Structure 1
């Protein structure tokens, strides 16, 4: 038997453990196993993997609605320019006096011939005001005090009323006439005065007259109805455009439900349309809503007459003057 061949008995001895173990020890070393009694568990119900489709409900939430209304904002535009501020009065007078300093001297012989009544009248007026200009007060632009063209505190030269009186006085013409006895007398021609800015309606406080507050915009304050049904047909009005200039949302204290339309009326939305009055006057004699009074009010007067809720809705769409 060669070296490479190993007998079967030797291979079997090599595979055995070196420590001899008897059959009894093998039985003791076997892992103990305990038989567990089966538990009494309730059967688990099986649920379907898909959701059950519920039938659609017939009741739906109520929709919110508002009642739409349109209100005409009828106004009368200003007829006169606004009053000047004290700064503007001083500035305009300063510009007129500055123009006298920068302009060339007035050449009176180009306009008046010597010895004519026009020259005599010209000399008389220039001696009083010391300047060709008629609305800058007593001021000589080419004299030694020409630089002193600013007003002193309390000087009324820049006031429009003072300038108006100066212009009217300068427009008066003195004419020398002789009577039957041959005596000469001076006659002044009357000058037509302009209409005052303060009218009789302003003095009387007539809120229904359109001939008041001529330097401001007036608004017709009456019921929220169309013009013809309230103010009559004696007004020539013109709606400026088709787009509202503002709106107001008025919410009711409690909504009004409408079960047929499945809606709840929460309030009103009022849209304001701009309109102008060109001629005429409001007349409530044949109005269809029993109105008894109306007024033409300026913006600051509307604030006193309106409810705060209504005033907050229109104060930003009314012009300042």
Structure 2
């Protein structure tokens, strides 16, 4: 009697496990869950020519209508600070007469000249402010596997799966929610060394495969905060972090057309 119970229990467990591993079928179509994993912009975007022209006009208009600065009250006569202030005022006055130069650019150019001509002012007024380059080494090398590239834009993770580029994707198993399938596959195929937050449990995009494949893909949005992808080379053979515009050169036209409206340009 005990052996019969054990055989019945083992067969029941195997049956339940097989049912759970079988892809979910709805109207003869498989349901797939994919992850739209995003690395948010790390720096503010550059202003457009129209925005820059507006900021320059506003800055010059405010200077033209502002009250006279009482420099005798703030600077000691003959001091280095007074001399630097007068040089800045001359640079601003010259920029006010030249529409092609903004006040900010004029001051930056003036400060660069001051820093290169003398070292005394650096010791008195402190370390000068340095504006770093907005392009990184990864941008110059066009290294699409680095996360420190295209800092002004969103980066999206695409993987080479089944010999084609797409978002990380897996079939939805029986008794499994979409977000559970997406989290499971991302961890299994891309590694666990990532700090990922799923924005919600509802898909933000839908892609219906060709009638011959009979597969419907639901895309869930997630954010990448730290770590890096480590593909297992079984489901995922390669990966890339690309912008929305760069993605068009990797994905198939139908796939890109279906998902592009759910992606941000920044």
CA distance in 1, matches of 2:83, 2:107: 24
- Offset from partner CA, 1:177-217 (integer Å, 9 cap, x none): xxxxxxxxx64536352321011111111000011111111
RMSD of the TM alignment (CA)?
2.7
CA distance in 2, matches of 1:91, 1:317: 31
Match of 1:237 among 181, 184, 196: 196
CA distance in 1, matches of 2:229, 2:128: 37
TM-score between both structures, scaled by the size of structure 2: 0.71
CA distance in 2, matches of 1:290, 1:164: 55
Instruction: Point out where structure 2 has 5 or more consecutive residues left out of the alignment.
Output: 1-25, 162-168, 171-184
Could you tell me which residue of structure 2 aligns to residue 247 of structure 1?
Answer: 206
Instruction: Considering fraction of residues, name the structure with more helix.
Output: 2
Query: How much does 1:80 deviate?
Result: 1.6
CA spacing shift, 1:201–1:278, aligned 2, 3 Å: same
Query: How much does 1:171 deviate?
Result: 7.1
Question: Which runs of at least 4 in structure 1 moved beyond 6 Å after TM superposition?
Answer: none
> What is the correspondence of 1:181-200 to structure 2 with a 5 Å cutoff?
187=120, 189=122, 191-200=128-137
Greater RCO (CA < 8 Å, at least 6 residues apart): 2
Could you tell me which residue of structure 2 aligns to residue 102 of structure 1?
Answer: 65
CA distance in 1, matches of 2:217, 2:48: 38
- Offset from partner CA, 1:127-150 (integer Å, 9 cap, x none): x4154xxxxx632xxxxxxxx67x
* Larger-Rg structure: 1
Match of 2:95 among 138, 157, 171: 138
TM-score between both structures, scaled by the size of structure 1: 0.60
> What is the correspondence of 1:57-96 to structure 2 with a 5 Å cutoff?
64-96=27-59
CA spacing shift, 1:251–1:159, aligned 2, 3 Å: farther
CA spacing shift, 1:296–1:159, aligned 2, 3 Å: farther
CA distance in 2, matches of 1:206, 1:164: 35
Aligned length: 215
Match of 1:268 among 205, 215, 219: 215
Could you tell me which residue of structure 2 aligns to residue 314 of structure 1?
Answer: 259
Residues 208 and 294, structure 1, Cα contact 8 Å, conserved in 2: yes
